[in-house]
Amino acid sequence: RIGISCLFPASWHFSISPVGCPRILNTNLRQIIVISVLAAAVSLLYFSVVIIRNKYGRLTRDKKFQRYLARVTDIEATDTNNPSVNYGIVVDCGSSGSRVFVYCWPRHNGNPRDLLDIRQMRDKNRKPVVMKIKPGISEFATSPEKVSDYISPLLNFAAEHVPRAKHKETPLYILCTAGMRILPESQQKAILEDLLTDIPVHFDFLFSDSHAEVISGKQEGWYIGLQFKIWDTIPLNPPHFHQRTLFSYMTSLCCPNIKPLKNSYLSSPHVGT
């Protein structure tokens, strides 16, 4: 029985008796209503949790990103007048172009447990000292004698930022990746030979035969793998590819012997191609 009453100047009462309506239909109807209400409540609760979580997550990420930006923008220009600052140059010769990165670090404190505090050099406007040219170095496979001229703008750029008095003690690394790996070994050697012959004539950087090489896909993969292991500890979004490349060669600068870390630090040896 369903009863409805309303209070007006006079009291009205209206009722419906389930005559001719099977009881089983009423039971099913009640079940449907109860299930619908529960489903609506669960859906409302779920969407409320999702919305709150997304909003909170965005706020958290925004706060972390703002803290990161604060740290980055607060980085001062590299003090090139400080004689205790050391410098290093890495040229990344990729398939589409070549980039030069200039790094700096203060004198080591002598504690064997402490690593060098290597950072990317900043110019007077606090911008990273980076320059890119195109095309890739592999485009000179048939004219290796032109490679040193091709790479000279990058080295001139680095030479302008590194104090002149530091040139002779500043290591220069030229690391070639995918574009060079697909060339025949004879063409690779011709390109590297031109670099090793001509660069010391025009630049005073610390540059030996072992500082110019074509790194393997496996070696490059290890650098990227190590970089991701380290970035896992930083509450920011994964870096872009150019950041991974930069970190890879910064790692090769300060940790040239990566092999002992294979089994102890990285999770899988099958990285790279």
Catalytic residues: 220
Q: How many residues does the chain have?
A: 273
CA-to-CA distance for 43 and 32, rounded, in angstroms?
16
- DSSP assignment, residue 234? S
CA-to-CA distance for 232 and 230, rounded, in angstroms?
5
What does each C-alpha distance from 110 to 92, 118, 171, 173, 215 come to in angstroms? 30, 15, 20, 25, 31
What does each C-alpha distance from 79 to 58, 102, 204 come to in angstroms? 37, 14, 21
Amino acid 23 reads: R
- List the Cα angle 80/83/89 in 5-degree steps: 60
- Contact status, residue 216 vs residue 272, Cβ threshold 8 Å: yes
On the CB side of 191, how many CA atoms lie within 13 Å of its CA?
27
On the CB side of 26, how many CA atoms lie within 13 Å of its CA?
9
